[in-house]
């Protein structure tokens, strides 16, 4: 039962530590906060130490608190087993955000001990939904005012659609034929293949149950592009209920659809950038997304050499059957716009054959299939260091919306690259800090040796040096973890390795738990003292001696670590409390607010550390 509880607690804590997209808040039965995860800090703004012991209704709006909404949620949870809703909540800075929330009872041994609140920020989705709703309202107004792309009337008896000239032109049908009536097939054969099944299904539903027809689809244009249409209509029936006519109207929603595609592309970029650790991969993703969304033939990123004369393209994205331009290129071979780029100006050319900046270099541009281009300069300290380039093999009109979209993508790409550079710099600083700390610890050893030269025994000097070495091991573990938190197993392993004559001497077991830097240092010193005593007088002083180290989280949310020696000499209770024992009590007891209990049983020493979990995982306090 204890092992199962320990595993359950470990999994619970692992979820808390890794779920940064969700605010996970635990409270007692009175609604007082007992646990506050990293996701809650990121979403709501409060660090955990500010809100522990505070009522959770602080995150509710004043009007919800006045209406006792927090208490109502807890009552519903106790009655129904859960309570979910979507509502406004408050951040630390006073701003409101829309969140989807779920409140569940928190049970221990089958008894409800509190509540677990899970929130996710849905503000962007709500804003997007509100934006779509407003668009739909505007569409309703447009349809009601008859401001359309075109109108049509389908006569079922003859299977002919009578349409105006505007409607016919979108489908590439002769206006006179459309006025006399053309069959449905003349229109649907211009549909995008992916959209035709959905159109037919919506039409079938309207004819069967009489629901108003409303459907979005794409229509192929003469230049190879597609236009998005929204068609709406109603079936007219005779006295017997037989469908006789189907009048309706269509409006062009291409701009709205393209805007949605561009917004989705920005979200995709953010998601894909999150896990990338290579700048070349970031620029490749940018080129791919821009090329797909804008329907281009080529895109990529080139690094500019210090002279500003050449650009090196490591790799680019291309549409099928389009030549790659990866390699080294001379600016002067592609037009006279390089001076604009050096000054940080974006270069947008609809037609290279008409623009004076490129008209003198047409042979090379034609060979590469470049008819339109878009170049965004990347500047550092006023110097051109790179170019985000986009090409198309046909004349393009770079609308203001497209220009803004490309600039937005370019800025997000720069931010992602800067994030990687900042992380690389942080790692460099961490490694340098590790090196300096090691040098400092070596200096401490030297100073101690000089200090103890005449005033201490060799044993005292060795003990002091070994304690400094133990701190160095803890420093290594914490440096790898970024000096925020480290796994318990790594800390224990680092502290015991110097005393391990063979793999059979130590057995380590416990759940995956991370502890803060302060707790890791204190635990390292404590374990070092136990290892030292065991090597001199206990289980590690003889062949066959063995030490078991186990850790867990108990039902009271305390972190427990148990040291147990077996197979060593018979143990006698010490007559006085030595420095090592005082160090144990000071490092794990006083520093972390826990307790240290040592049992000198004849068969072997047992030591139990018990510290509140919040104390060993208090990253802010450790800093």
Asked if residue 366 is part of any domain, the answer here is yes
Alpha carbon distance 500, 186 (integer Å): 84
Tell me which of 88, 121, 154 is where a domain ends: 121
Per-residue model confidence (pLDDT) at position 30 = 92
* 451 and 589 within one domain: yes
Question: Do 132 and 226 fall into the same domain?
Answer: yes
Question: How many CB atoms within 10 Å of residue 369?
Answer: 18
Q: Are residues 147 and 86 in the same domain?
A: no
Question: 499 and 435 in one domain?
Answer: yes
10 Å CB burial of residue 91 (0-12, 13-18, 19+) is middle
Report which secondary-structure segment, H or E, holds 159: none
Q: Are strands 96-108 and 111-121 parallel, antiparallel or unpaired?
A: antiparallel
Helix, strand, coil percent values for the chain (each to nearest 5): 45, 25, 25
pLDDT tens by residue, 453-475: 555 566 656 655 555 565 566 55
Please indicate, yes or no, whether residues 591 and 442 belong to a single structural domain of this protein.
yes
CATH number of domain containing 159: 3.30.450.20
Domain annotation covers residue 419: no
- The DSSP H or E segment spanning 330 is strand 327-330
For residue 383, give the CATH number of its domain: 3.30.450.40
DSSP 60: B
Sequence-ordered alpha helix ranges (H) in 355-399: 362-367
Q: Say if residue 453 is in the same domain as residue 595.
A: yes
Total number of residues shown for the chain: 623
- Shared domain for 589 and 459, answered yes or no, is yes
Does 318 reside within a domain? yes
- Whole-angstrom distance, CA of residue 137 vs CA of residue 310: 52
User: Considering the domain boundaries, does residue 46 fall inside one?
Assistant: yes
Give how many domains the chain has, as a whole number: 4
Q: Residue 469's pLDDT is what?
A: 60
Task: Note whether 508 and 555 are same-domain residues.
Answer: yes
* Chain centroid to CA 186: 48
Q: Do 503 and 604 share a domain, yes or no?
A: yes
Domain shared by 309 and 440, yes or no? no
Domain annotation covers residue 463: yes
Q: What angle do CA 232, 233, 235 make, to 5 degrees?
A: 155
Residue 303: Cβ within 10 Å count: 16
Please answer whether residues 72 and 84 qualify as being in contact, where contact means their C-beta atoms are separated by less than 8 angstroms: no
Partners of 608 in beta bridges: 562, 597
Residue 576 belongs to a domain = yes
280-291: buried (b, 16+ CB within 10 Å) or exposed (e) per residue? ebbbbbbbbbbb
Domain that holds residue 391: 258-414
DSSP designation for 275: T
Do the domain assignments include residue 141? yes
According to DSSP, the residues that pair with 88 across neighbouring strands are: 98
- Residue 614: CB partners within 8 Å, gap ≥ 6? 35, 48, 52, 557
Q: Which of these three, 121, 152, 175, is where a domain ends?
A: 121
Give the domain CATH number at 462: 3.30.565.10
Please check whether residue 618 lies inside any domain of the structure.
yes
The per-residue b/e assignment along 386-395, b for 16 or more CB within 10 angstroms, e otherwise, is bbbbbbbbee
Same-domain pairing of 458 and 590:
yes
* 131 shares its domain with 110: no
Contact 56, 40 (CB under 8 A): no
Please give the angle made by the CA atoms of 145, 151 and 157, to the nearest 5 degrees.
Answer: 135
Name the residue with tokens 């919306």: 401
Q: Which residues of the chain have pLDDT under 50?
A: 1-5, 136, 139-141, 143-147, 436, 443, 447, 450-451, 478, 481, 619-623
Do the beta carbons of residue 410 and residue 283 sit within 8 Å?
A: no
Q: Decide if 575 contacts 583 (C-beta within 8 A).
A: no
Domain C-terminal end among 87, 121, 155: 121
């Amino acid at each position: 039962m204890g092992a199962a509880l320990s595993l359950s607690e470990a999994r619970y804590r692992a979820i808390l530590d890794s779920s940064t997209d969700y605010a996970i808040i635990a409270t007692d039965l009175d609604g007082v906060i007992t646990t506050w995860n990293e996701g809650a800090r990121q979403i709501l703004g409060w660090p955990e130490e500010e809100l522990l012991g505070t009522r959770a209704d602080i995150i509710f709006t004043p009007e919800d608190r006045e209406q006792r909404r927090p208490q109502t949620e807890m009552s519903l949870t106790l009655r129904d087993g859960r309570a979910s809703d979507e509502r406004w909540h408050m951040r630390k800075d006073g701003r409101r955000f829309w969140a989807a929330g779920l409140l569940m009872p928190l049970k221990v041994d089958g008894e409800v001990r509190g509540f677990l609140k899970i929130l996710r920020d849905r503000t962007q989705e709500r804003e997007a939904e509100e934006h779509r709703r407003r668009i739909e309202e505007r569409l309703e107004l447009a349809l009601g005012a008859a401001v359309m792309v075109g109108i049509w009337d389908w006569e079922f008896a003859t299977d002919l659609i009578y349409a105006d000239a505007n409607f016919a032109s979108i489908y590439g049908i002769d206006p006179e034929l459309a006025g006399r009536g053309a069959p449905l097939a003349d229109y649907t054969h211009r549909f995008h293949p992916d959209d035709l099944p959905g159109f037919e299904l919506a039409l079938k539903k309207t004819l069967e149950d009489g629901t108003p027809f409303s459907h979005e689809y794409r229509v192929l244009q003469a230049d190879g592009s597609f236009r998005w249409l929204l068609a709406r209509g109603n079936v007219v029936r005779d006295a017997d209920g037989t469908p006789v006519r189907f009048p309706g109207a269509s409006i062009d929603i291409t701009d709205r659809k393209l805007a949605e595609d561009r917004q989705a592309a920005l979200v995709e970029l953010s998601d894909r950038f999150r896990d990338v650790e290579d700048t070349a991969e970031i620029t490749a993703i940018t080129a791919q997304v821009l090329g797909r969304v804008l329907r281009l033939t080529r895109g990529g990123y080139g690094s500019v050499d210090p002279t500003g004369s050449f650009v090196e393209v490591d790799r680019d994205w291309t549409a099928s059957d389009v030549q790659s331009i990866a390699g080294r290129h001379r600016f002067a071979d592609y037009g006279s716009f390089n001076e604009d780029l050096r000054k940080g100006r974006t270069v947008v050319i609809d037609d290279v054959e008409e623009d004076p900046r490129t008209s003198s270099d047409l042979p090379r541009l034609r060979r590469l299939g470049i008819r339109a281009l878009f170049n965004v300069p990347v500047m550092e300290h006023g110097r051109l260091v790179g170019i985000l380039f986009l090409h198309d093999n046909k004349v393009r009109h770079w609308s203001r919306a497209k220009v803004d979209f490309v600039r937005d993508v370019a800025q997000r790409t720069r931010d992602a690259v800067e994030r990687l550079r900042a992380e690389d710099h942080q790692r460099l600083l961490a490694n340098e800090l590790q090196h300096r700390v090691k040098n400092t610890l070596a200096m401490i050893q030297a100073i101690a040796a000089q200090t103890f030269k005449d005033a201490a025994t060799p044993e005292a000097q060795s003990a002091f040096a070994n304690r400094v070495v133990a701190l160095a091991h803890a420093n290594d573990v914490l440096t790898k973890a970024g000096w925020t938190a480290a796994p318990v197993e790594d800390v224990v392993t680092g502290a015991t390795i110097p005393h391990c004559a063979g793999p059979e001497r130590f057995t380590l077991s416990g759940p995956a738990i991370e502890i803060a830097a302060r707790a890791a240092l204190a635990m390292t010193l404590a374990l070092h003292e136990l290892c030292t005593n065991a090597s001199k007088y206990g289980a590690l002083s003889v062949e066959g001696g063995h030490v078991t180290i186990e850790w867990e989280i108990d039902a009271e949310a305390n972190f427990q670590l148990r040291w147990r020696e077996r197979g060593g000499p018979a143990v006698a209770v010490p007559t006085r409390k030595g420095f090592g024992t005082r160090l144990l009590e000071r490092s794990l007891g006083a520093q972390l607010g826990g307790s240290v209990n040592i049992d000198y049983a004849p068969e072997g020493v047992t030591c139990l550390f018990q510290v509140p979990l919040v104390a060993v995982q208090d990253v802010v306090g450790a800093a």
